[in-house]
Each structure stands twice: as structure tokens, then as C-alpha cells.
Amino acid sequence: MGTGNLHIDLSALVENWQALDRQSATNTGAVVKADGYGLGAGRVSKALATAGVRTFFVAAVEEATALRASLGPDPVIYVFSGHMAGDTQTLSDLGAVPLLNSPEQVARHSAALPDHPFGLQLDTGMNRLGIEAYDWSPEMSQDASLVMSHLACADEPEHAGNKAQLKAFLDMTAGILAPRSLAATGGILLGPEYHFDMTRPGIGLYGGLPFKGAKPVAHLDLPVIQTRKVNAGEAVGYGHAFIADTPRVIATLSGGYADGLIRAMSSTAMLYAGDTPCPLVGRVSMDLLTVDVTHLDEVPDHLTILGAHQSVDQLADAAGTIGYEILTSLAHRYKRSYA
């Protein structure tokens, strides 16, 4: 193989959803935005629908178009960006449900699609999307199918922002009859008071933190193109960022920042030959990585960068980022397989 092999374990994905679903007594949807967090929204959503998911969330109406084609007419698809100018016909054709974020969107939706379902997103302290408290009236929710907000600090259970946002959500939605949703993955783990009528896990489905019990979903093997002996004092890669202090054996692998293996993991990430760690040395380039395999008795035909020994979050730590960025950056040059 000339490019990496990205294997997506759909059974692990489903088990992660089931585990999060068991933690609440509410309905549990699934967030499949950003092409199913980089793993293929079509295949991911079909597996989740087969497991019982009936409500999906995407970022924009363009994502809803692809999702509806995969899922058919029955599942509910919510659109976080709401009813943007130019979305009217597509929302109508798809039966997708916008989560209205402002009085302007409420007015647009009421005028353009008065009989079309809608939800509402409230800002409870994140200051990103949602109707502000000073613009909010509970009467807005009279025909809404869902009223939601989003927690900014749910991955830090002790953060004061969680309780503050919970209180704001309770205050703003007091007395309304519409179903409510506050918890994504982190919110589910905070406990029942955050669950309301619908939870909507995202990153935890795909094997990421803060769901520490998640099974890994993405497995990535990179083929070894070439190996060479490097003498002490010789340099490897762009900028001569790595200089061997002793004789080394260096493997060159197919994979680089064009494949989502970001440059920030240069000289810090680890790859694995079976159970044996092998350090990435030198800079990540567009298409290639260089890895020190001096200590191996035999160099295999591939090394593993995501798998049993290294999660997306562990790889993200090496790059000074988060698992979300690693997953959603995985490019389409990989050969993908699903099981």
C-alpha cells in the first residue's frame, strides 16, 4: 500500500454510543458534524441508526444534505447553524430542523417556512451561538421541537462555569413545554441534572476524551517506504531538525501534514511496531514521516500511529492540541476500511 490504512471500528463506535446512552434516562442523539468527526458521516450515521439512533446533529445545512441521502427520510436532523440566508429551500427539501440562534433567524424562519419544524439554541454563557437572555422570551418555544444550549467547560467537571450555565439554562427555560437539551459528551458525564430530555454525544462516540471509558474507533497504520542507515552527525529531514548522535536506522513512512498528521507533532510523536514504541524524528513534512527504528530486530511493512497503544488524545498531546483536531484532520488520501 502506498498510503496509510485508516480502519474505522463501527462496532466500537456503536458500543460507545450505547455506553453513553445507558448513563441517562433520556433520549440520546448523535453528533455527526464535520463528516462524522473525520471518519465518514455516511457510514458512521448508518451504523448508529441501525443501533437505534433517531436524532442526529450537524453543523450546517450542507452536511444535512449528505446525511439525508445516507439515512433516508425518517431520522430527525438538527442543524446547529440554524436558518441562514439561502438555506430555506434546502431545509424544506430535506426536512432538516434548524436550531434558531437569534431573533433574526426566528423572524426569517417564521416568514419563510411558517409550518416547518424548528428548534432553538440559547446562549447560557459560552457567547458563541444562541439567543441571548435579553432577546429571549419563553413564548418563542411554543412550537419548538427542541430547546438547547451548549456547555463551554464540561470537560472540566469542577469548573464553576458548568453550574453557572446549568442555572442560566434552568432560568431561561423555566415553565416551557418543549423538550430540552444541554449535554454533549462532557455534560452526560457531569450527571443527571444536566441530561434533561435529550443528550447529544459527539467526541465520546469516536473514542475521545472526556469519555475515558471510550473504545478506540480510529486505527491508522502508515506504510514504510524505505529504511536507511544514518551515521552519527548526519541530519534527517527539513531544516536538519534531527541530528543523529549515534548510528541510527531511520524508516521513511507515507503520511504527513497533508494527511492530517500535523507539523506540531514533529520530533514528539510516537509510532508503534506491534507493542514497541518508535519515536518520530525530525520534522513532519507534507507526505512523509521519519521514524527511528534502530532498536527493532526487524522493520515491519508498517507502523501504527493510532491504535491500541496510542489514542487520538495521546497523539494530540504530543502535538499540543486536542483529539478533535486530530480526528477531523484525517485526510481522504488514506485507504479506509470499516468493520
CA angle 178-184-190, nearest 5°?
A: 100
SS3 state at 249? strand
Cα-Cα-Cα-Cα dihedral sign, residues 236, 241, 246, 252: negative
Report yes or no: 293 and 284 within 8 Å, Cβ to Cβ.
no
Residue with cell 443528550: 199
Query: Which residues have C-beta within 8 Å of that of residue 283, sequence separation ≥ 6?
Result: 237, 238, 239, 241, 263, 266, 267
Which position among 33, 78, 324, 334 bears the catalytic label? Answer: 33
Task: Please give the Cα distance from 37 to 32 (Å, whole number).
Answer: 6
Which position among 163, 215, 238, 338 bears the catalytic label? Answer: 238
Clarify whether 33 is annotated catalytic.
yes
Bridge-based pairing state of the strands 235-236 and 242-243: antiparallel
Bridge-based pairing state of the strands 270-273 and 235-236: unpaired
Backbone region of residue 274 per phi and psi (left: phi > 0; alpha: psi in -120 to 50; beta: other values): left
**Residue 319: φ, ψ to 5°:** -100, 5
- The residues facing 235 across adjacent strands are 243
Q: Enumerate the active-site residues.
A: 33, 238
